[in-house]
């Protein structure tokens, strides 16, 4: 338990009494936009007041927002941390103010006692699922892979890279020949894929691994403009399961995506409400599911359904 929680318990039993600050990274991807929408919906349904701060991809803005929430005396803070390091001091300030902090979708390199819980997927596992998909798809054939990394220093970029590399490590036929950040955005995914295509001999790239779907969708455009068929000439696997990725799979332009739920706030607020009601301490990690979708699934139906969910 965070220090001081027992003092807060009798006052905060009702969700309607709660004010929660949410420091969101920005809107770099369709997945991020959906997470913002779902978090606002969750807060509304529970009758709690959500103070929302968009950090426009900058850690300094997130730290400022957290200090603002602390000064306002919010009851709790949700933090989607843009990068993994550099949080200790502001988390200590929140702890000293007896404000529990819950991490959403990304992890931090800080002592666990500085936050209440982290709601994330197994980010290394996601990368490993992507790698294993390619191992199976290539079945021993030589394959030169290009990789679009997420935001430099972010936990999904670090962990998804690690998991993928682990999965292909025992398969010398699979080799990452180029790897660069596309910052989790569609526009950078396209720009960096264009540079990969220019740098490599024509026809020599066999597969693209993108750390998120938005970069993959940007890269699809670059591949088409280079006169190649995405999903066939270059196999594509990425992560998120946003509607446009399902649409691309349905059209045969992409091969696989690993779904990341945008509903991190639901489990986070369940844990927070229980904690504030009677001191129930959540586990330090609340893990969300990671499911692989391929051309075997009814991607058109999934696209139609997901389109309505705030992406
Ligand atoms: O932290 C989750 C990642 O952040 C998502 O995969 C990506 O789309 C987002 O920007």
Q: Which of 11-15, 139-143, 160-164 has the lowest mean pLDDT?
A: 11-15
At residue 226 the predicted structure's pLDDT band, cuts being 50, 70 and 90, is: very high
Residues in contact with 35: Cβ distance below 8 Å, sequence separation at least 6, in sequence order: 24, 80, 104, 105, 262, 263, 264, 265
Ligand 1 neighbour 155 (Cβ under 6 A):
no
* pTM for the whole structure: 0.94
Ligand 1 neighbour 106 (Cβ under 6 A):
yes
pLDDT given for residue 309 in this prediction: 83
Give burial (CB, 10 Å; 0-12/13-18/19+) of 199. exposed
Ligand 1 neighbour 156 (Cβ under 6 A):
yes
State the angle between helix axes of 186-199 and 213-225 in degrees (0 to 180), rounded to the nearest 10. Answer: 50
Which residue from 105, 160, 189, 287 has its CB within 8 A of the most atoms of ligand 1, so it is best to mutate? 105
Ligand 1 neighbour 159 (Cβ under 6 A):
no
At residue 3 the predicted structure's pLDDT band, cuts being 50, 70 and 90, is: very low
Ligand 1 neighbour 29 (Cβ under 6 A):
yes
ipTM: 0.99
Instruction: Give mean pLDDT, residues 284-311.
Output: 95
pLDDT given for residue 11 in this prediction: 46
**Residue % of the chain over a pLDDT of 90:** 93
At residue 16 the predicted structure's pLDDT band, cuts being 50, 70 and 90, is: low
Map the chain to HEC letters: CCCCHHHHCCCCCCHHHCEEEEEECCCCCHHHHHHHHHHHHHHHHCCCEEEEEECCCCHHHHHHHHHHHHHHCCCEEEECCCCCCCCHHHHHHHHHCCCCEEEECCCCCCCHHHCCEEEECCHHHHHHHHHHHHHHHHCCCCEEEEEEECCCCCHHHHHHHHHHHHHHCCCCCEEEEEEEECCCCHHHHHHHHHHHHHHCCCCCCCEEEECCHHHHHHHHHHHHHCCCCECCCEEEEEEECCHHHHHHHHCCCCCEEEEECCCCHHHHHHHHHHHHHHCCCCCCEEECCEEEEECCCCHHHHHHHHHCCCC
CB-based contact 300:250 (threshold 8 Å): yes
Atom of ligand 1 nearest to the CA of 28: 10
Q: Whose CA is nearest to atom 4 of ligand 1?
A: 32
Atom of ligand 1 nearest to the CA of 156: 1
Atom of ligand 1 nearest to the CA of 105: 1
């Amino acid at each position: 338990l965070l220090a001081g929680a027992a003092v807060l318990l009798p006052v905060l039993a009702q969700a309607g009494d709660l004010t929660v600050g949410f420091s969101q990274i920005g809107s770099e991807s369709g997945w991020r936009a959906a997470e913002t929408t779902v978090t606002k919906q969750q807060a509304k349904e529970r009758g709690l007041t959500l103070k929302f701060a968009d950090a426009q991809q900058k850690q300094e803005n997130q730290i400022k927002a957290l200090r603002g929430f602390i000064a306002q005396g919010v009851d709790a803070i949700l933090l989607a941390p843009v990068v993994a390091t550099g949080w200790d001091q502001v988390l200590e300030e929140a702890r000293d103010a007896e404000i529990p902090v819950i991490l959403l979708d990304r992890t931090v390199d800080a002592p666990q006692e500085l936050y209440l819980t982290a709601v994330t997927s197994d980010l290394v596992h996601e990368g490993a699922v992507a790698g294993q998909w390619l191992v199976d798809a290539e079945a021993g054939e030589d394959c030169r892979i290009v990789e679009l990394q997420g935001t430099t220093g972010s936990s999904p970029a670090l962990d998804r890279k690690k998991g993928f590399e682990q999965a292909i490590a025992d398969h010398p036929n699979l080799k990452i020949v180029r790897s660069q950040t596309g910052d989790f955005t569609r526009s950078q995914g396209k720009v960096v894929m264009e540079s990969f295509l220019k740098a490599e001999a024509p026809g020599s790239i066999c597969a693209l691994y993108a750390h998120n779907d938005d970069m993959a969708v940007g890269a699809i455009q670059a591949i088409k403009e280079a006169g190649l068929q995405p999903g066939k000439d270059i196999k594509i696997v990425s992560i998120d399961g946003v509607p446009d990725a399902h649409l691309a799979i349905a059209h045969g332009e992409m091969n696989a995506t690993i779904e990341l739920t945008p509903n991190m706030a639901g489990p986070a607020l369940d844990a927070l409400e229980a904690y504030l009601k009677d001191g129930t301490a959540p586990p330090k990690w609340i893990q969300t599911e990671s499911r692989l979708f391929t051309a075997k699934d009814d991607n058109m139906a999934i696209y139609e359904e997901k389109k309505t969910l705030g992406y």
